[in-house]
Amino acid sequence: MKAFVYRENGNSALEEKAKPGIKDPGDAIVKMLKTTICGTDLHILKGDVATCKPGRTLGHEGVGVIDAVGPAVTVFKVGDHVLISCISACGKCEYCRRNMYSHCTTGGWILGNEIDGTQAEFVRTPHADTSLYPVPSGADEEALVMLSDILPTGFECGVLNGKVAPGSTVAIIGAGPIGLATLLTAQFYSPAQIIVVDLDDSRLAVAKQFGATTTINSEDGKAADAIMKLTGNRGVDTAIEAVGIASTFELCQAIIGPGGTIANVGVHGKKVDLHLELLWSRNIAITTRLVDTVSTPMLLKTVESKKLDPKQLITHHFKLTEILEAYKTFEHAADTKALKVIIDA
Amino acid sequence: MKAFVYRENGNSALEEKAKPGIKDPGDAIVKMLKTTICGTDLHILKGDVATCKPGRTLGHEGVGVIDAVGPAVTVFKVGDHVLISCISACGKCEYCRRNMYSHCTTGGWILGNEIDGTQAEFVRTPHADTSLYPVPSGADEEALVMLSDILPTGFECGVLNGKVAPGSTVAIIGAGPIGLATLLTAQFYSPAQIIVVDLDDSRLAVAKQFGATTTINSEDGKAADAIMKLTGNRGVDTAIEAVGIASTFELCQAIIGPGGTIANVGVHGKKVDLHLELLWSRNIAITTRLVDTVSTPMLLKTVESKKLDPKQLITHHFKLTEILEAYKTFEHAADTKALKVIIDA
Amino acid sequence: MKAFVYRENGNSALEEKAKPGIKDPGDAIVKMLKTTICGTDLHILKGDVATCKPGRTLGHEGVGVIDAVGPAVTVFKVGDHVLISCISACGKCEYCRRNMYSHCTTGGWILGNEIDGTQAEFVRTPHADTSLYPVPSGADEEALVMLSDILPTGFECGVLNGKVAPGSTVAIIGAGPIGLATLLTAQFYSPAQIIVVDLDDSRLAVAKQFGATTTINSEDGKAADAIMKLTGNRGVDTAIEAVGIASTFELCQAIIGPGGTIANVGVHGKKVDLHLELLWSRNIAITTRLVDTVSTPMLLKTVESKKLDPKQLITHHFKLTEILEAYKTFEHAADTKALKVIIDA
Amino acid sequence: MKAFVYRENGNSALEEKAKPGIKDPGDAIVKMLKTTICGTDLHILKGDVATCKPGRTLGHEGVGVIDAVGPAVTVFKVGDHVLISCISACGKCEYCRRNMYSHCTTGGWILGNEIDGTQAEFVRTPHADTSLYPVPSGADEEALVMLSDILPTGFECGVLNGKVAPGSTVAIIGAGPIGLATLLTAQFYSPAQIIVVDLDDSRLAVAKQFGATTTINSEDGKAADAIMKLTGNRGVDTAIEAVGIASTFELCQAIIGPGGTIANVGVHGKKVDLHLELLWSRNIAITTRLVDTVSTPMLLKTVESKKLDPKQLITHHFKLTEILEAYKTFEHAADTKALKVIIDA
């Protein structure tokens, strides 16, 4: 079968590889229908993710159809259409039972990282019963690919952790795909204001169209001032960091109001400054989270009931054979205006 | 009347001052019975608290008897014995109505800071109806002085914010008075393990006596290792920072388990490092808080029902005329073994 | 001044009465601009509300302008436009400090019940600072009248108590004004399904227009069957009783799913059957609540930000001199299609 | 093997039966070490439990050692000592993933009810990985039998659902084994008052010894008056119904304070009156629950850390061959003073 394989020094490529088979009783083999590329995949290509070794098939998102199941699988059978979660969860360990699937002792984010992933014709998914979700009949499968990672990530790490509430004031720092996924799902809770900050005017235009009440281009270094002014100098109730660098985390600290929450969504490579000399008395919370995908069943319901339209995030389509082109398009988003790209397997 | 007045360059002293009078309709004048000294008072003496100007009567804790009330006061009358909260709360502003008295727009921590405080024969307390608490009949008034600040601070900023729960594992970094107050109130929730860390063996001995299940002297720089070992390498559910310096906050980050909470109690003068490069994916929360004293009614009930014995925190007694001696005793706690000192007004 | 006064035996009428004056230091006198009629007023007219004695000016809703304030009032001054809450709250008692204003020991629902109310040219409002809310500049004051009672009631007693959540399934039993207010505010949380049940097709048509996903006329006695079918036989997550009689509470018990919540909003005059023989093992909650109006500041923000349009609830307009006509119109809602009527004072 | 088998008309007896074998891949066969008798078993013997058919081996509690495991079992291996939960949970269905194991679509309370149970030499436990718990090394296995059902039931249905909190006032109606288990676990949260009500003075004496602050014999019909007096006429914060009849549920309604919670633990055979005509405006919650046993890992930690001593509940010991005698002792608790009996298999 064809698979997109990570190789060092920019040599990652679509390669021919053996079709995976059942290894553990709880495994399923899924024939991929649609997959996509995540920002994390770009990090892997650059060699930034130590757990991912050369030779690995990338990809942790997608929709497919069950091709084979191990003897312990009871929820799914061959032929079922399934949504693949980016997080594998055994459903049995201490963390899974606390609904913290991200820290599953034999799962977590392993797909396309520690084991072969979804940018291929077939993928082996461990802990299938608790890591796959049935595609509702009549669902738009392309839309559901957005539920593998980006929408639960925005929702759980940003919206839920950030305690977005009716009438509240929210700032989302970063209008990339993950910031926009946060923006879409923040609206489940009817906040009064959603301020989106980015350096790219075209992304801010998308944010406006996706429901931001105000957008701010932070190029002039005056975003904090602008937000304090917008909030009557009180600061925001929720500041969501959706970039992953020191300066955006700094901005969150500058605009958070007393009693507010800074919800970190971004993947950080370096330590940041925490201004406890100012914040110790401000009654704030800072949260971090690797997505648990516990909200997947709920998100499926919001898609079915048309409270959420994930397709808004999809800008480009490719075939698996065009995956290098897909990567280029996704990587140069500033030029291509790409948000998420769909790859037909 | 006599009052302990902050003066620069170590010239603070017990001075003669005019007895305060009613200024606003919601004020009460309280004749002090008992007060105490807080770590913050020491900071003021060193000139570290910019809001507190020379000439200010210090003190934000104590028990007294109502001497006069303004026309808007409806809860208290002359002769009532009252507990004075360190936080003044109007009960009307946005923050008070969100139970965040610490950020009251006309109150907060003002006593002995922005207005004259309780280390005197009389004190004017603004917003009396919502900032004083009736002393239950038969209560030990000396014990209640511990409810002005230290016990609600430990409980709200450490225990509540830290989500201490039955069966959980808690580490308290710092066994000074505030760490010990946290230790006492953490036991309301029956955690399985309470590990207390300090540099002073005699304070650790007190911690053991107050209910710590393990104590660790961190002098050897191996406290993190010891705690990881004690928790089967999982880390703690709750890490409470009760010192206010970078290294103790660093220790909290090293020992916090996935899904855990770092509750900051300490007053910090400098920024600290936040290791988001490690913590972004660990599903943790970090909380800060200036005490709101919303738990005061609850704490009064736990004292009445003997679930909490605040007197354990009291080590020394002085008269108001001996207040310089009291300050010295409190300041040199390593030698005097002082925790909290009671000053009879 | 003119005031609508409750008299026995159907003799309630617009009468001439002395203008009220300040009685307690926390009082304000409000010159009424707009008021409305509540279902509870109809109960009073029938003699069903024992606490309301003949001679009482009715009304507990409205918007007005401050005419005078007592010496303890600090938040408002003469000339301020204010929203009057149906609940008076001292802000000082145990219940107020627990945010349970409905049980304020010197307040609660007293306006137009135990003291003279708002269906008059002027009203005395006790505890003004914590029972009135500033009208935001530029606000539509007519719309805000809906925030005195009906919208916080639907939201707090129905939506908040009922734990309405994104993706969840909600049934609202009763499409009268209060059921519709619940319907409007339930959408703050993006439930997947909102099923509204009533006996009146025209009210169900309004419900559909206000956002119900399904409406059911329960005349055939088969509403429970229909709802179980709509929910794949699982029952609803939230059942909201917005009528106040035994049969509608019975319906809620028949349709509640495991883990669900029955939120009672209706005013009940008689005891009901509780089927603990079926429900003891179903992990449900049943909640009751007299509105606390703690959500008023939040609701004001949702109106300002256009997440909520209260004017949808207003069907008729009258002058104070036409108040008997207004009562008739409101009482005969089946014929007049009245929801809420605005009375200009 | 020997098994205690339910037969109609009082003919239940210890019978010889085939040793069970693995049926589903997730099954384990457990060789029983210790089991006990539950109040529900008595109901079965009387023919009150329709789901339990003659021929069924009774018992849903116990500790044993793994004798065999199916191919899908990954957590346990032959020889492991395990605590058997009264609730079987697949860990995969909608309810299990919401932590509502009681409603597992292929589990729930089936042991000793719909499938053969633990009062035997061996038992087949379905969904072994998520329904058994490892016995901590060095644990007292007899004590752990109390964690199969009675302690999680008291804790989850009574204490957690009842929102017992530091400083709060709790009434427990019924001092049978389940009421006493509630009493023991309520103390995890340091309530100020725990009032226990029963008709049997000897059980009230046990309650006192187990931590009740007040006990009331309700024989004189004045328990409600006594409790209102004890609470300054405010009523209790939490009322826990631990009997399962109309009159005790009535008592809970009479004593619940504004804002309080009535947590039903008792198994009810008939409907009860709910006084909504009084309670609609009192801001209360009523909860029901079949135990989910989600708290089992936490309870194990409280036992290990000696916050909870389950052995207090054990009054008698028998061998499996003496099980009829054990049933008699348990049934005639008024005479025998039996709480829980241990049966060695």
Q: Does the distance separating the beta carbons of C213 and A302 come in below 8 Å?
A: no
* Residue ranges of chain C whose CB lies within 8 Å of a chain D CB: 95, 98, 100, 102-103, 244, 249, 258-259, 264, 266-277, 279-290, 292
Chains that touch D (3 or more CB pairs under 8 A): A, B, C
CB-based burial of residue B139 (10 Å sphere; 0-12 exposed, 13-18 middle, 19+ buried)? middle
Q: Amino acid letter at A124?
A: R
Q: Distances from the Cα of B156 to the Cαs of A250, B12, B185, D189, in angstroms?
A: 26, 31, 9, 15
pLDDT digit string (tens) for C167-207? 999 999 999 999 999 999 999 999 999 999 999 999 999 99
Contact list in D for residue A71 (CB cut-off 8 A) is 25, 71-72
Q: Nearest-CA distance from A151 to chain B in Å?
A: 17
Could you tell me the pTM of the whole model? 0.97
Average pLDDT score over chain A: 97
Return the pLDDT at C62.
98
Are the C-beta atoms of residues B178 and B248 closer than 8 Å to each other? no
Q: Which residues of C touch D102 (CB under 8 A)?
A: 258, 281, 283
**Token digits for B129?**
């109806």
Are the C-beta atoms of D238 and D261 separated by less than 8 Å? Answer: yes
Show residues of chain C in contact with D268, CB under 8 Å. 276-277, 280
Per-residue pLDDT band for B250 (boundaries 50, 70, 90) equals very high
Structure-derived torsion over alpha carbons of residues D243, D249, D250, D251, reported in degrees to the nearest 10: 60
CA distance C70 to chain B (A): 9
As a whole number of angstroms, the distance between CA C83 and CA C141 comes to 8
- Do C285 and D287 lie within an 8 Å CB cutoff? yes
B132 φ, ψ to 5°? Answer: -115, 160
Per-residue tokens: A207: 């944010």
Contact (CB, 8 A) for B261 and B239: yes
Suggest the residue from B23, B74, B129, B298 to mutate for an interface test with chain C (most C CBs closer than 10 A): B74
pLDDT value at position C54? 97
CA distance A157 to chain B (A): 9
Question: Which chain D residues have a beta carbon less than 8 Å from that of C288?
Answer: 276, 279-285
Q: Which residues of B touch A281 (CB under 8 A)?
A: 102, 267, 288-290
Tell me, what's the pLDDT at C188? 98
Of the candidates A25, A92, A297, which has its C-beta nearest D91's C-beta? Answer: A92
Mutate to test the interface with C, among D109, D274, D278 (most CBs of C within 10 A): D274
Question: Looking at CA atoms only, how far is residue D42 from chain C in angstroms?
Answer: 17
How far, in Å, CA of B85 to CA of D68, rounded? 63
How many C-beta neighbours within 10 Å does residue C77 have?
A: 10
| Chain mean pLDDT for chain B | 97
Instruction: Please state, rounded to an integer, the average pLDDT across all residues of chain C.
Output: 97
In the DSSP assignment, the letter for residue C315 is E
Answer yes or no: are the C-beta atoms of A126 and A27 closer than 8 Å: yes
- CA proximity to D204, closest of D228, D187, D179: D179
Q: What is the dihedral of CA C77, C81, C84, C89, to 10 degrees?
A: -30
**Residue C269's pLDDT band (cuts 50, 70, 90):** very high
Q: Encode pLDDT of C72-88 as tens digits.
A: 999 999 999 999 999 99
Model confidence at B207, pLDDT cuts 50, 70, 90, reads very high
For residue B160, what is the nearest residue in chain D, using CA coordinates? D166
Q: What is the pLDDT of residues A263-313, one digit of tens each?
A: 999 999 999 999 999 999 999 999 999 999 999 999 999 999 999 999 999
Q: Do C283 and D244 touch (CB under 8 A)?
A: no
Reported as a pLDDT band with limits 50, 70 and 90, residue B39 is very high
Write out the two tokens for B256: 């916090």
Phi, psi (degrees; rounded to nearest 5) at D147: -95, 0
- The 3 state secondary structure assigned to B47-109 is CCCCCCCCCCECCCCEEEEEEEECCCCCCCCCCCEEEECCCECCCCCHHHHCCCHHHCCCCEC
Could you tell me which residues of chain A have a Cβ less than 8 Å from any Cβ in chain C?
A: 165-168, 187-190, 192-193, 213, 297-302, 304-305, 307
pLDDT tens series, chain D, 345 aa: 999 999 999 999 999 999 999 999 999 999 999 999 999 999 999 998 999 999 999 999 999 999 999 999 999 999 999 999 999 999 999 999 999 999 999 999 999 999 999 999 999 999 999 999 999 999 999 999 999 999 999 999 999 999 999 999 999 999 999 999 999 999 999 999 999 999 999 999 999 999 999 999 999 999 999 999 999 999 999 999 999 999 999 999 999 999 999 999 999 999 999 999 999 999 999 999 999 999 999 999 999 999 999 999 999 999 999 999 999 999 999 999 999 999 999
Query: What does the alpha-carbon distance between residue A127 and residue A322 come to, in Å, rounded to a whole number?
Result: 30
Please judge whether A281 and B264 are an interchain contact, meaning their C-beta atoms are less than 8 angstroms apart.
Answer: no
Residues of chain C in contact with residue B297, where contact means CB-CB under 8 angstroms, are 94, 97
Sequence-ordered list of residues with C-beta below 8 angstroms from that of C221, at least 6 positions apart, any chain: none
Q: Are strands B122-125 and B62-69 parallel, antiparallel or unpaired?
A: unpaired
pLDDT digits (tens, 9 = 90+) for A158-210: 999 999 999 999 999 999 999 999 999 999 999 999 999 999 999 999 999 99
Interface test with A, best of D97, D127, D130 (most A CBs within 10 A): D97
Interface of A with D (CB under 8 A): 25-26, 71-72, 74-75, 90-92, 94, 96-97, 99, 129-130, 294, 297
Which pLDDT band holds residue C327 (cuts at 50, 70, 90)?
very high
Q: Chain B: residue nearest C24 by CA?
A: B72
Residue D173 · residue D183 · CB < 8 Å: no
The identity of residue A253, as a single letter, is Q
pLDDT of residue C323: 98
Question: Is residue A29 within 8 Å of residue A68, measured between CB atoms?
Answer: yes
Verify whether the Cβ–Cβ distance D99 to A99 is below 8 Å.
yes
pLDDT reported for residue B181 = 98
Sign of the C-alpha dihedral computed for residues B30, B32, B37 and B41 taken in this order: positive
> What tens digit of pLDDT does each residue of D3-52 get?
999 999 999 999 999 999 999 999 999 999 999 999 999 999 999 899 99
Report which secondary-structure segment, H or E, holds D301: helix D296-304
Alpha helix positions (H), chain B: 39-45, 94-97, 141-144, 150-152, 177-186, 201-209, 223-230, 246-255, 276-279, 296-304, 323-331, 333-336
pLDDT in tens, B177-202: 999 999 999 999 999 999 999 999 99
Sign for the pseudo-dihedral over CA of D19, D21, D27, D30: positive
Interchain contact, B274 vs A279, CB within 8 Å:
no
User: Which positions in chain B have a beta carbon within 8 angstroms of at least one beta carbon in chain D?
Assistant: 165-168, 187-190, 192-193, 213, 297-302, 304-305, 307
- For residue C290, the chain D residues in CB contact (below 8 A) are 280-283
Locate the chain C residue with the closest alpha carbon to D281.
Answer: C290
* Contact criterion met (CB < 8 Å) for C268 and D276: yes
* Residue contact B305–D189, C-beta within 8 A: no
Given a contact as 3+ CB pairs under 8 Å, which chains touch A? B, C, D
Q: Are A91 and D94 within 8 A, CB to CB?
A: no
* Nearest chain A residue to D105, by CA: A75
Using CA atoms, how far apart are residues A309 and D251, in angstroms rounded to an integer?
51
ipTM over the 0.95 cut-off: yes
pLDDT band, very low/low/confident/very high, at B216 (cuts 50, 70, 90): very high
Q: What is the pLDDT of residues C282-295, one digit of tens each?
A: 999 999 999 999 99
Instruction: Band the pLDDT of B290: cuts 50, 70, 90.
Output: very high
Please name which of A18, A120, A131 lies closest in space to residue A69, comparing C-alpha atoms.
A131
* Helix and strand totals (H; E) in chain B: 12, 16
Find all residues with CB under 8 Å of C117, minimum gap 6, and list them: C56, C57, C58, C59, C60, C111, C123
- Rounded Cα–Cα distance for residues C219 and C234 (Å): 23
CA-nearest of B343, B341, B59, B339 to B177 is: B339
Q: Do A281 and B269 touch (CB under 8 A)?
A: no
Per-residue model confidence as pLDDT tens digits over D125-155: 999 999 999 999 999 999 999 999 999 999 9
**Cβ separation of D74 and A94 shorter than 8 Å?**
no
Phi, psi of B336 (to 5 degrees): -85, -10
Note whether C290 contacts D283, CB cutoff 8 Å.
yes
What pLDDT, in 10s, does the model give residues C92-133? 999 999 999 999 999 999 999 999 999 999 999 999 999 999
Closest Cα in chain D to B188 = D190
